[in-house]
Structure 1
């Protein structure tokens, strides 16, 4: 026994009802589509690199025009990279930090933002520095991370400027150090066989070694019999300065020269005694002028 076919009018009524429901659904979807299009257009106009990534697969779900322009890859090309996206674009030396960053993303709350600086590879093969701010965009039913939303800033010029500034600071420091060494250890010829070295400022280990080298070289070069070491302008009168004076005096005596220390203050005298200076061998004058007068009188005699 066969069933009777539905009347044509009933079939037409059902088709008309379905078409009406479809039209209603399309009409209800129209504002949503317009809103989606508006948001896409807005994202494409924002002067920042915006993207959405599938957290499990680490592939691009969405990337705006700015990001595509930076990478020199279209959004479709980025999507087609699939799971090869991260190994292809992230610098090999930054992959470990990137993995640690992903692990931290699994532990953050909604609305919390994590920052990471790393290098990304462009189509040309050039690497550029990118600073990203990422947060959870959506979660799976079990509350695990489904997608992440990120905003990236190109830091390449800023990084290069930092490197250049650091280089210039290092060069300036070297130049200043060299200048201070030259200015801080001047050797002044007084008369035949007599030289003077005024010590100004602080004396660290490096400068103490420089003082010894310059003075001994000057004694040997000028065949000096007397060297005046003036400490009037020295700062931080301490055991280091006293040790420097004693070392210079002993070394000069080995070259046949006498060191006369001028400008010693009471505090320096106490430190020299504490350091075990042989005051019988260490000649001292109250001022540099007195030391010069002594040197000239000996030269005349």
Structure 2
């Protein structure tokens, strides 16, 4: 660097600071109107004061570092800073040439030019270094993003602007069983079941590209081995500044086991309902109640009579007596294979309960072995009227009904 400016020139520059600023401001505004710069006028103060310090023998590189920090805090880009530096340089040169003695004017102008050039070079160098560091940071971020995308424990894929798979992560490959070469470049709908693919094309995708996102869409993917993978897919659209689709990113949640469990639970509920209906049907079949008119009911029993069926029989018969205002109930046990203590107890209990409602019971169909069993068990049938056949029982029941029991 040349020697510092002569003291007289430096004093003159200091005294002309405001005039220099005004001159540089006019030049900068003119350049801005012509679209040549975007530097703010406030940056001129920083540059003028920094140049004055440099003319006193300061280090231009140190000045550049200081200027760069100040200009960055003001939001001045590199091209704007260089433009502002240029108008300040021209203002200084014009002043030292116009105000200095001819023998020193040239040297003073060269000093101004050298300081400005070194400041500009230092600014550019520092900006290049910053740019390089920014690029290294971005590369690191992108590398980290790619690593996260590949290794996150979630099924993820990316689709390009043409609607083709541009990236799938490791979990996607693991879940579906394909290699990347079998996947990249193909449409994601190629891996969906026909129903899911149609739903995607006709419903999901039109809304997705309109709103820029979709949430918890249920799809079925086809694995390489032919099995199905149920997923809940959520995705977002990435657009450029013009609003054009650049890519989309999707996260898929495997819900195969959950849906299988839900379907199993639904099937179990349906099966339970079927069983309940069948039980109800069997109950009605096992304890049929036939109104015969004229105050007579018939309950033909078929099969074994256990405790549960005895309770069912009693409930059905009592309800029928009340509903039909019956006076006589016929219990036909022709279809009961054997009459034991449980059957006898049930018959006696039914008789007593029906009697409390003001009706009576006619028992038909008792065979010799059944009668013998009842005698051996010492069961007293009490007020039960017994008839050998259902025909006889019907006749007796009608007679009781006409007589009002």
TM bracket (short chain): 0.5 to 0.7
Instruction: State the SS of the aligned residue for 2:247.
Output: strand
- Counterpart for residue 141 of structure 2: 35
TM-score (norm 1): 0.55
- Answer whether contact 2:236 2:248 (CA < 8 A) is retained: yes
Equivalent in 70, 76, 101 of residue 204 of structure 2: 101
- Counterpart for residue 360 of structure 2: 292
Equivalent in 206, 231, 234 of residue 130 of structure 1: 231
- Counterpart for residue 249 of structure 2: 149
Output one character per residue of 1:278-299: Cα deviation in whole Å (capped at 9) or x when no partner.
xxxxx54697224334664484
* Cα distance change, pair 165–28 in 1 and its aligned pair in 2 (3 A): same
Rounded Cα–Cα distance in structure 1 between residues aligned with 2:191 and 2:225 = 11
TM-score (norm 2): 0.42
Equivalent in 63, 70, 76 of residue 175 of structure 2: 70
- Counterpart for residue 70 of structure 2: none
1:52 deviation in Å? 1.6
* Cα distance change, pair 166–71 in 1 and its aligned pair in 2 (3 A): same
- Counterpart for residue 39 of structure 2: none
Structure 2: runs of 5 or more not aligned? 1-124, 290-295, 303-313, 330-352, 364-383, 388-392, 397-405
Comparing both structures, which one devotes a greater share of its residues to strand? 1
- Taking the TM superposition and a 5 Å limit, the aligned residue runs for 1:81-100 are 82=185, 84-99=186-201, 100=203
- Answer whether contact 1:44 1:64 (CA < 8 A) is retained: yes
- Counterpart for residue 339 of structure 2: none
- Taking the TM superposition and a 5 Å limit, the aligned residue runs for 1:1-301 are 26-54=132-160, 56-79=161-184, 82=185, 84-99=186-201, 100-108=203-211, 112-136=213-237, 138-187=238-287, 197=299, 232-233=318-319, 262-264=321-323, 283-284=326-327, 288-289=354-355, 290-293=358-361, 296-297=384-385, 299=387
Rounded Cα–Cα distance in structure 2 between residues aligned with 1:231 and 1:92 = 57
Comparing both structures, which one devotes a greater share of its residues to helix? 2
Rounded Cα–Cα distance in structure 1 between residues aligned with 2:239 and 2:181 = 24
* Cα distance change, pair 229–141 in 1 and its aligned pair in 2 (3 A): closer
Higher relative contact order at CA 8 Å, sep ≥6: structure 1 or structure 2? 1
Rounded Cα–Cα distance in structure 2 between residues aligned with 1:126 and 1:143 = 39
- Answer whether contact 1:49 1:152 (CA < 8 A) is retained: yes
Instruction: State the SS of the aligned residue for 2:218.
Output: strand
- Answer whether contact 1:50 1:67 (CA < 8 A) is retained: yes
- Answer whether contact 2:204 2:214 (CA < 8 A) is retained: no
Rounded Cα–Cα distance in structure 1 between residues aligned with 2:226 and 2:283 = 49
Structure 1: runs of 5 or more not aligned? 1-18, 198-214, 219-227, 234-260, 270-282
* Cα distance change, pair 123–298 in 1 and its aligned pair in 2 (3 A): closer
Instruction: State the SS of the aligned residue for 2:360.
Output: helix
Rounded Cα–Cα distance in structure 2 between residues aligned with 1:229 and 1:36 = 77
* Cα distance change, pair 169–188 in 1 and its aligned pair in 2 (3 A): closer
Q: Please report the RMSD computed on the Cα atoms of aligned residues, expressed in angstroms.
A: 3.8
1:135 deviation in Å? 1.6
Rounded Cα–Cα distance in structure 2 between residues aligned with 1:195 and 1:186 = 16
1:21 deviation in Å? 9.3
1:53 deviation in Å? 0.9
Rounded Cα–Cα distance in structure 2 between residues aligned with 1:49 and 1:167 = 29
1:229 deviation in Å? 10
* Cα distance change, pair 21–231 in 1 and its aligned pair in 2 (3 A): same
- Answer whether contact 2:189 2:200 (CA < 8 A) is retained: no
- Answer whether contact 2:155 2:253 (CA < 8 A) is retained: yes
- Shifted more, 34-43 versus 150-159: the winner is 34-43
- Answer whether contact 1:60 1:85 (CA < 8 A) is retained: yes
